[in-house]
Amino acid sequence: MAITSDQKNEIDLFHKQVEIENPSDIIQFGANYFNRRLELQRGFIKKQENFALSKGISLFPNDMAQDPMSTTHRSSSAVNFKSPFVDQDPHSIHSGPHSNNSSSEPFKSNFNVTTESKKRINSPMDPSQSNDDPSAGSNFKRSSPHPSNLSPIPVHFNAERRTSVSGETLQPGNFDDWTPEHYKEKSEEQLKRLEKSIGKNFLFNKLDHDNKRLVINCLEEKHVPKETVIIKQGDQGDYFYIVEDGNVEFIVNDAKVSSSGSGSSFGELALMYNSPRAATVIATSDCILWALDRLTFRKILLGSSFKKRVLYDDLLKSIPVLKSLTTYERAKLADALDTKYYEPDQVIIKEGDVGENFYLIEYGECQVTREDKGLLTTLHKGDYFGEVALLNDLPRQATVTASKKTKVATLGKSGFQRLLGPAVEVLKLNDPTRSSRE
Amino acid sequence: MMETHAQYVDYLPTKEKQETSQELEDTAQQQQILYQKAMNQEQPSVLQQRSTVSKGKYTLNDFQIMRTLGTGSFGRVHLVRSVHNGRYYAIKVLKKQQIVKMKQIEHTNDERRMLKLVEHPFLIRMWGTFQDSNNLFMVMDYIEGGELFSLLRKSQRFPNPVAKFYAAEVVLALEYLHFNNIIYRDLKPENILLDRNGHIKITDFGFAKEVTTVTWTLCGTPDYIAPEVIATKPYNKSVDWWSLGILIYEMLAGYTPFYDTTPMKTYEKILHGRVTYPSFFNSDVVDLLSKLITADLTRRIGNLQNGTQEIKSHPWFSEVVWEKLLSKDIETPYEPPIVSGVGDTSLFDQYPEERLNYGIHGEDPYEALFTDF
């Protein structure tokens, strides 16, 4: 790497000095020389300190924060805040009358939150870092005793910088001509068993029946001999695995952490995005595995999500009372729809009840009945009911009962109102037939 | 909602500014219509009329490359100094090969485009881009105060008014982005810088995207990802409001509400949605957070009828004078200790430097992928 001009200047200066003084012990000379440079520079900055503070800039926020010899200053220093807003904070600590604050203190009110700093071990190399030394020359107040209502930061919280993650950008609109690469029908017995294996995982348990079967039928059978490294810690992950038969062992940083056998699964994070494997997995016997790659999985998931979205949009468009909504408003409703499942014979809405929700049928079958007239009609996928509840508070005019297992998307009047405003007004406002004279 | 539109006029290029101010002199009703139109996507946002071309403006020879300010999955950010005006800038360098390998071509091109478009006091400014055969370069302002992340970890947690100050500036930045149909998607303390006066600058537009309807890509930072993104649902701007909730929580508590030992466990917690608020949280903020960190989109504040206005008029923000804040007319809670004018980097952590291979112009297998740079 090329050195910067600042570095070069410093080296040139030193070079010149060596030429002038021609020292016999170059190392001792260099050490003394740079210590002197440091002293000069710091002395200069120190002189600027009061001026800087009057401008609100603190050059030495932690006594030695500018000290290049100190590497621990950052974690052991206190941060002092001014309050731009009225303090309503129960856990802030105000500067009390005992404060030995200098008059140059630029802060309106002081908040001391680094309550942990005293617990830290001060650098033995740097006695001036001691927070307990009142002669340390700080312009800032030191930590107050730990208030009892402040719990410490949990030890398991990762306080390091967090890496962003991202899956591949897929366009679910053009999956129509896509077929999964490793599609192979599994036997009914296999399906049941595999369904059980993945059942508890949140990635799979939201899938509907058809998609779950599709995913399982896309599992690719893999035979690995004993001692095979199936995945390696730190490698990029693209596959999720289910153990059909055999045993595997998990190793993190060369230490065995656990093992598992038939029916277990591992590597599921790879189904979300590409990230380094957290552990190494080794076959401790000959194994039969099922593998699923991320692209296949996400395409199935996204494809179904997209179809559902198109269905919602079409349905919302087809409901006369919602016809006047703009694309944007319709999208907001579609995003907020809640899905519900009904078993056969379960009543969804009941004649005479006060209506709140409207329903779109995603799949299944429902019967609409009335006390006086009996069965009125049967509703199927793509039908809707209850939409009048958005506009008025009349009791339900009929009972709707699921006659097969039914999945509905639903939204209530109050949800509608929170999103777009009072339904009556929103729907009227957008109605193109509404008179403009109002 | 009215002020919302007027505020942005100051940050639009002159041409639009004149036209828009003309309109603003009209009645409040017309302003309402204008805003409503924009909100309803019936007309493209003003940003779409702005040029995103920045080719050939800079080269590597214009800068002297200095220390590394940060590293990421695709490259690193350097402090640089212009050989012409002696000023300091930050250059983000992305390795083309790494971008392609991680399948982030689209996000990278979006990042450049979004950065070129946006102009707001609380968003980082990009001056231009260039490339060699291995890398992409983005020239940006050097923001000396370091990351909000460093300040937060050093303080462990922020007092209520301090968290409120940073949150309020973030709200204004998000409001501007959303008004222009841009979702940010990666809010976290690591991506918020502090300028020399202590105001925020949101940086890293790696996942920012112009979206008028919905989008599908799973991205963000595990602790901050909204449940609808994890559940592979189509999503929109409201994911940023979720993340704002997490950010405010982290600033006040010192840790995030759904943290766990593995990302999968975190995602499970996010989907489960149970949040425990520490007893020292102020009751207003608990109310706000419970409305931000909710999976129910009909209850997530910012996504509702009155949009961002509802967040801005929430009791927790009651003492914030938004117009003053936007014009940086409010004193910041913390002024970073900076030695001015010398490219002071004391507030940035140290990263191991590596041998640089910048400036090679040879065979480039990815030439066709990044023609905008």
- What DSSP designation does A186 have? P
A154, B259: Cβ pair inside 8 Å?
yes
Lowest mean pLDDT among A176-190, B161-175, B306-320, B326-340: A176-190
CA B150 to chain centroid: 17
B92 assigned binding-site residue: yes
Q: B21 by DSSP, 3-state: which?
A: helix
Q: End-to-end distance of chain A based on CA atoms, in angstroms?
A: 73
A231: phi then psi, degrees, rounded to nearest 5: -135, 155
pLDDT at B45 over 50: yes
Q: Is residue B49 part of a domain?
A: no
A165, B103: Cβ pair inside 8 Å?
no
Instruction: Return the amino acid letter for A56.
Output: G
pLDDT at B56 over 60: no
The strand pairing partners of A290, in sequence order, are A221, A242
Q: Are residues B286 and B153 in the same domain?
A: yes
Count of CB contacts below 8 A, A vs B?
243
Task: List, as ranges, residues 21-80 from A with C-beta within 8 Å of B.
Answer: 45, 56-61, 65-66, 74-75, 77-80
Q: Are residues B174 and B235 in the same domain?
A: yes
Looking at beta carbons, which residues of chain A come within 8 Å of B157? 113, 150, 153
pLDDT of residue B21: 37
Q: Are residues B128 and B6 in the same domain?
A: no
Which fold, A182-299? Jelly Rolls (2.60.120)
Q: Which of B104, B109, B56, B133 is nearest to B365 (CA)?
A: B133
Average pLDDT over residues B189-211: 96
Residue B255 confidence class, pLDDT cut points 50, 70, 90: very high
pLDDT of residue B52: 64
Q: Are residues B176 and B321 in the same domain?
A: yes
pLDDT at A287 over 50: yes
Q: Are residues B165 and B260 in the same domain?
A: yes
pLDDT at A68 over 50: no
pLDDT of residue B181: 94
Contact A254, A310 (CB under 8 A): no
What are the residues whose beta carbons fall under 8 Å from the beta carbon of A366, sequence distance 6 or more? A342, A348, A378, A379, A383, A385, A400, A401, A402, A403, A406
Nearest-CB residue to B234 (from A61, A81, A309): A309
Task: List, as ranges, residues 414-433 from A with C-beta within 8 Å of B.
Answer: 414-421
As a whole number, the mean pLDDT across chain A is 78
Distance (Å, rounded) from C-alpha B45 to C-alpha A294? 35
How far are the Cα atoms of A201, B334, B347 from residue B193, in angstroms, in the given order?
37, 13, 11
Q: Is residue B239 part of a domain?
A: yes
Provide the CATH number for the domain formed by A319-429 in this structure: 2.60.120.10
Q: Is residue B65 part of a domain?
A: yes
Q: Which of B100, B140, B112, B106 is nearest to B55 (CA)?
A: B112
Q: Is residue B332 part of a domain?
A: no
- Give me the helix-helix angle, B2-9 and B160-179, nearest 10°: 80
**DSSP string for B276-345:** ---TTS-HHHHHHHHHHS-S-TTT-TTSSTTTHHHHHTSGGGTT--HHHHHTT-S--S------TTTT--
pLDDT of residue A393: 82
The answer to whether the A182-299 and A319-429 domains have the same CATH topology is yes
What are the residues whose beta carbons fall under 8 Å from the beta carbon of A299, sequence distance 6 or more? A170, A172, A175, A178, A180
Helix, strand and coil in chain A, % to nearest 5: 35, 20, 45
Distance (Å, rounded) from C-alpha B236 to C-alpha B240? 8
Q: HSE of B210 in the Cβ direction (CA atoms, 13 Å)?
A: 17
Q: Is A105 on the interface with B (CB under 8 A)?
A: no
**DSSP string for A419-433:** HHS-HHHHHHHT-TT
Residue B51 confidence class, pLDDT cut points 50, 70, 90: low
Structural domain span for residue B241: 148-326
Q: Are residues B220 and B361 in the same domain?
A: no
User: Which two structure tokens, joined as six digits, stand for A137?
Assistant: 């020359």
Q: B4 by DSSP, 3-state: which?
A: helix
Looking at beta carbons, which residues of chain A come within 8 Å of B349? 74
pLDDT at A114 over 60: no
Q: End-to-end distance of chain B based on CA atoms, in angstroms?
A: 37
**Residue B244 exposed, middle or buried by CB count within 10 Å (0-12, 13-18, 19+):** buried
pLDDT of residue A32: 87
Q: Is A175 on the interface with B (CB under 8 A)?
A: no
pLDDT of residue B53: 61
Contact B269, B258 (CB under 8 A): yes
Q: For A15-27, write each residue's pLDDT tens digit.
A: 888 888 888 888 8
Looking at beta carbons, which residues of chain B come within 8 Å of A172? 216
- How long a stretch of residues is chain A? 438
Residue A429 confidence class, pLDDT cut points 50, 70, 90: low
Residues of B annotated as catalytic are 186
Alpha-carbon gap: B180 to the closest alpha carbon of chain A (Å): 14
| Order of all β-strands in the sheet with B88-95 | B63-71, B75-82, B88-95, B135-141, B126-131
Q: B99 by DSSP, 3-state: which?
A: helix
Average pLDDT over residues A230-244: 95
Q: Is residue B300 part of a domain?
A: yes
Average pLDDT over residues A81-101: 51
Alpha-carbon gap: B350 to the closest alpha carbon of chain A (Å): 10
Q: Are residues B137 and B155 in the same domain?
A: no
Residue A78 confidence class, pLDDT cut points 50, 70, 90: low
Q: Is A295 on the interface with B (CB under 8 A)?
A: no
Q: Are residues B305 and B242 in the same domain?
A: yes
The strand pairing partners of A292, in sequence order, are A240
Q: For B295-332, write each residue's pLDDT tens digit.
A: 999 999 999 999 999 999 999 999 999 999 999 999 99
Distance (Å, rounded) from C-alpha B334 to C-alpha A112? 12
Average pLDDT over residues A407-430: 85
Average pLDDT over residues B253-261: 96
Instruction: Return the amino acid letter for B159.
Output: P
Q: Are residues B272 and B361 in the same domain?
A: no
Q: Are residues B33 and B100 in the same domain?
A: no
User: Where exactly are the structural domains of chain A?
Assistant: 11-121, 182-299, 319-429
Q: Are residues B172 and B272 in the same domain?
A: yes
**Cα nearest neighbour of B70 on chain A:** A161
Q: Is residue B130 part of a domain?
A: yes
Q: Is residue B55 part of a domain?
A: no
Return the top range by mean pLDDT from A203-207, A427-431, B167-171: B167-171
Looking at beta carbons, which residues of chain B come within 8 Å of A169? 103, 106-107, 217
Number of domains observed in the structure of chain B: 3
Give me the percent of chain B exceeding a pLDDT of 70: 85
Looking at beta carbons, which residues of chain A come within 8 Å of B223? 162
Residue with tokens 């449940």: B227
A336, B297: Cβ pair inside 8 Å?
yes
pLDDT at B18 over 70: no
Calculate Rg over the CA atoms of chain B: 21
Q: Are residues B291 and B154 in the same domain?
A: yes
B153, A159: Cβ pair inside 8 Å?
yes
Kindly report the number of other CB atoms within 10 A of residue B274's CB atom.
8
Contact B228, B270 (CB under 8 A): no
Helix or strand holding residue A195 (H, E): helix A188-198
- What DSSP designation does A201 have? S
Task: List, as ranges, residues 336-365 from A with C-beta within 8 Å of B.
Answer: 336
∠ CA(A402), CA(A407), CA(A408), 5° rounding?
90
Nearest-CB residue to A149 (from B162, B262, B279): B279
Q: Is residue B188 part of a domain?
A: yes
Distance (Å, rounded) from C-alpha B219 to C-alpha A214? 25
Contact A404, A348 (CB under 8 A): no
Torsion, Cα B132 B136 B139 B145, to 10 degrees, reads -130
